[in-house]
Homo-oligomer: A and B are copies of this chain.
Amino acid sequence: MTQNDATRRGIGIILSSPSGAGKSTMAKRLMAWDPSLSFSVSATTRAPRPGEVEGLDYFFTDRETFGQWVLDGEMLEHAEVFGHHYGSPRAPVESALGAGQDVIFDIDWQGGQQIRNSALGGDIVSIFILPPSIAELERRLRSRGHDSDEVIGKRMAKSESEISHWAEYDYVLVNADPDTCEAELRTILTAERLRRERQPRLSDFVRGLNEEFRRRQP
């Protein structure tokens, strides 16, 4: 019944939201809450932003290498956004899931669709995070301070298209308050782990109960 059961394959947890609705903050908070979680670090051809760390925020690479990884089937999903390529390297995800670790994907709807259709094994939980309002979404984007008006305009246009895919997800949250949103994410993850098919040790446990029944019979 423990989370790190060697005979249990991990769950793939897809977190999507428009830029500024909080999915990256929420992913970081979940990682801090449960250190047994694994985070799928994306590869990208865009340049690092100030403070971003190689291998932690992204694997930064060039177009040629990225293209080769795609051709070699090393990417679970990949997409081009604003002229840069992004993708989820397959090997670390397969390794974590195989070790029974649940893996968080901080990806957009295109990535979510590709992961759901990939050979990951099908044990996927998908969560879409909506902003409380578009005004608040824009305010959060501007408060980051690293985008020009033009880029913010583009991000808002992309947000509209991102939001149009909300109905493809298992769960939908409205992030009006980060603490509430985090609590809801914890709740979803804790409940999903209590599903029967995610507790492979239950069979042994019930076998033990049945043996106890047999021993007490005269």
Chain B residues with CB under 8 Å of A131's CB are 209
- Assess whether B195 is in contact with A134, with CB atoms less than 8 Å apart: no
Chain B residues with CB under 8 Å of A171's CB are 191, 194-196
- Assess whether B135 is in contact with A212, with CB atoms less than 8 Å apart: yes
A216 an interface residue at 8 Å Cβ cutoff?
A: yes
- Assess whether A194 is in contact with B187, with CB atoms less than 8 Å apart: yes
Determine how many copies of this chain the complex contains: 2
Chain A count of residues within 8 A CB distance of the other chain: 38
Which of A136-188 touch B at CB < 8 Å?
138, 156, 159-160, 163, 166-167, 169-174, 184, 187-188
Pairs across A and B, CB under 8 Å, 5 listed:
A130-B209, A131-B209, A134-B209, A156-B213, A171-B191
